[in-house]
Amino acid sequence: MLYHLYETQRALMAPFAEFAAATAKLYDHPLSPFAHTPMAQRVSAGFDLLHRLAKEYEKPEFGITSATVDGVAVAVQEQVALAKPFCRLLRFKRFSDEPHALARMKTQPTVLVVAPLSGHHSTLLRDTVTSLLHDHKVYITDWTDARMVPEDEGPFHLADYVAYVQDFIRLIGPNVHVISVCQPTVPVLAAVSLLASGGEATPRTMTMMGGPIDARRSPTAVNNLAMNKSHAWFEANVIYRVPSNYPGAGRAVYPGFLQHSGFVAMNPDRHVSSHYDYFLDLVRGDEDSAEAHRKFYDEYNAVLDMPAEYYLDTIKTVFQDFALVNGTWDVHGQLVRPQDIKTTALLTVEGQLDDISGAGQTRAAHDLCSGIPRTRQFHYDVEGAGHYGIFSGRRWREKVYPELRSFIARFDKPAPRAAAR
């Protein structure tokens, strides 16, 4: 019922959002007589802000069309390497007519970025992909909004997420370097563990960034909510059926609008201040600052529905049973054993000010991966970085990416035979 009420409210607000946008232009366009009335700039700014608060935010595009390789500008084309009901594996294919750049690109490492299925779209990692394209061949998981998946495609569990990651690794090949950001650190570690246990080739490196490998360490507000509420409480209070106006009508999901409310509730003062600053930037005519605000919230406000089975599995497995660290996680009849990983180098990254995955939660992967030689295990703490700062923004580009690039380059070769044994 709540989902249906939200859809009704959204439909009612849509005309008002468009009216606000038109009025903002009416008081701002230089050819409009209203633009020359007293307080016109403030009136325009107010209606512009009202439009952005009331509008519907669609999934953004990656919009990456070029990159620089060894000082040469190359074209980038987004391609679908593999399509599954709940995810597309995207490849950012680079093209160049310059022989030197072409030869360089052929020898660069291949990376698979596993984006989170936790509310926001994979385009949240646009900055991550943009940086990686300078020195790597890049693939990324692009998770599908569950309300767009017909119910007859069946459910999607956490175990299915693990299987998807395994399929993507097999498709790309054993020379791949896997990077998991936030939530997927857990299923990625499970996927690689199961490959190792089954005697299959594993990626050359795993990089885990800001994820809840062991959510018992330095629990945050997010962890406490998941730990202190029962599984039945989540099922009764956050799971709803998709309305009939979407392809996934009838599917049980954790709706994106509820997730967005939770995101905002974590730092309400910060968001109020940011929107007020946006209003002042419009009044002052500071278009650069206003555009930066738009770009951030176009991404931040675009959310997706998560399959109910996957969300409830994650709550129970990761935040209540701690099945990975306790060694009790069973995926499709096979026990997840990170200690079976022998040849894959491991890098963990944590932000000093991360308020979503607390200190030590990601680093716990090193204790679990006891089969990896210590000479192939590394950890990096990012001073002054919050959760988003470890994969986006200035600290990502200036601090994290150089470390990650060096780590991948160092281990972009078959593991020594001793390590393999």
Residue 289 has pLDDT above 90, yes or no: yes
| pLDDT value of position 276 | 94
Q: Are 27 and 40 in contact (CB under 8 A)?
A: yes
Confidence of residue 86 (pLDDT cuts 50, 70, 90): very high
Confidence of residue 226 (pLDDT cuts 50, 70, 90): confident
| pLDDT value of position 413 | 85
Same domain, 327 and 357: yes
Confidence of residue 224 (pLDDT cuts 50, 70, 90): confident
Same domain, 192 and 336: yes
Same domain, 80 and 121: yes
Tell me which of 283, 300, 317 is where a domain ends. 300
Rounded distance, CA 209 to CA 333, Å? 28
Q: What is the pLDDT of residues 118-151, one digit of tens each?
A: 888 999 999 999 999 999 999 999 999 999 999 9
Rounded distance, CA 114 to CA 122, Å? 9
Q: What is the pLDDT of residues 227-262, one digit of tens each?
A: 888 889 999 999 999 999 999 999 999 999 998 888
Name every residue whose Cβ is closer than 8 Å to that of residue 92 and which is 6 or more positions away in sequence. 62, 64, 76, 77, 78, 79, 129, 133, 138, 139, 140
Same domain, 46 and 87: no
Same domain, 214 and 353: yes
From the list 63, 22, 61, 28, the residue with the least C-alpha distance to 42 is: 28
CATH number of the domain encompassing residue 221 = 3.40.50.1820
Look up the pTM and report it: 0.92
Dig out the tokens for 360 from the structure: 């030590």
Q: Are 209 and 125 in contact (CB under 8 A)?
A: no
Q: What is the pLDDT of residues 53-82, one digit of tens each?
A: 999 899 999 999 999 999 999 999 999 999
Name every residue whose Cβ is closer than 8 Å to that of residue 178 and which is 6 or more positions away in sequence. 111, 112, 114, 169, 188, 192, 203, 205, 206, 207
Share of the chain above pLDDT 90, in %: 82
Residue 180 has pLDDT above 60, yes or no: yes
Dig out the tokens for 10 from the structure: 């959204």
Residue 112 has pLDDT above 70, yes or no: yes
Q: Are strands 72-84 and 87-95 parallel, antiparallel or unpaired?
A: antiparallel
| pLDDT value of position 307 | 97
Residue 266 has pLDDT above 90, yes or no: no
| pLDDT value of position 417 | 63
Over residues 184-201, the mean pLDDT reads 97
| pLDDT value of position 250 | 95
Q: Are 213 and 189 in contact (CB under 8 A)?
A: yes
Share of the chain above pLDDT 70, in %: 99
| pLDDT value of position 418 | 52
| pLDDT value of position 261 | 87
Q: Supply the range of the domain harboring residue 341.
A: 66-234+306-420
Average pLDDT, the chain: 93
Look at residue 245 and tell me if it is in a domain: no
How many folded domains does the chain comprise? 2
Same domain, 128 and 158: yes
Question: Edge-to-edge strands of the sheet including 306-307?
Answer: 240-241, 252-254, 306-307
At residue 181's C-alpha, the angle toward residues 257 and 324, to 5°, is: 95
Would you list the DSSP string of 403-417? HHHHHHHHT-SPPPH
Confidence of residue 191 (pLDDT cuts 50, 70, 90): very high
Same domain, 99 and 114: yes
- Residue 8: count of CB within 10 angstroms of its CB: 11
Would you list the DSSP string of 149-212? S-GGG----HHHHHHHHHHHHHHH-TT-EEEEESTTHHHHHHHHHHHHHTT----SEEEEES--
Tell how far CA 125 is from the center of its chain: 6
Give the 3-state secondary structure of residue 75: strand
Dig out the tokens for 92 from the structure: 């950012």
